[in-house]
Amino acid sequence: MTISKLTLRGSARLKESEKRRIVDETSRKRRHRKMMEILEADNYHEDPHADLVMSKKIPKFDDNLETRTRSRKKEKNPEYYQTKFRKHILQLLEEDRVEAEYTGRYSYTDMACEDTDSPYRHFCAVCGFFSQYVCLTCGMRYCGIRCMDMHMDTRCLKWAA
């Protein structure tokens, strides 16, 4: 892939893209799913101090506040509740769905929003402005030559194995 971009204008470029492996629908969907995972993550990076044992001590309470009379023995550490809880979100959602089905009530799944009826708007994956062109290889969009080059050099799926 070292052919100079300048030499690849017009039909020459088209030919070049035909030669490329066209990224199939499954990979495009996988790309979108991966993107959504990143967008829904609490953090992008790993816990910087995952290996360190953090001080689990709850900070001392403010002296300005009235002192608690709560008996010490009633205090349970967070792990106690977590162990007792022992559930995964998908498990809870499934339980909710099953119970709802059984009793005929509404459930979490009923809140799901329908697909949109409005037409999709298309944006350049590089600069974010409106785009008219689709990358023949991977289906992402760009708005012009400059952004196309940038796309080819960076996020184009042709690089994906």
The binding site for Zn ion (CB under 5 A) comprises: 124, 126-127, 135, 137-138, 140, 143, 147, 156
Per-residue interface string for the shown chain with another protein, residues 44-63, x marking contact by CB under 8 A: xx-xxx--xxxxx-xxxxx-
Range 29-51 burial, b when 16+ CB lie within 10 A, else e: eebeeeeeeeeeeeeeeeeeeee
Nearer to Zn ion, 27 or 107 (CB): 27
Residues 119 and 137: their CA atoms lie apart, in Å, by: 23
Q: Which does 2 bind (CB under 5 to 8 A by kind): another protein, Zn ion, none?
A: none
3-state secondary structure of 138: coil
Residues 66-95 vs another protein: string with x where CB under 8 A?
x-xxx---xxxxxx-xx-xx-xxx--x--x
Instruction: Return the number of the residue (76 or 127) whose C-beta is nearest Zn ion.
Output: 127
**Residue 50: CA atoms inside 13 Å, Cβ hemisphere, count?**
4
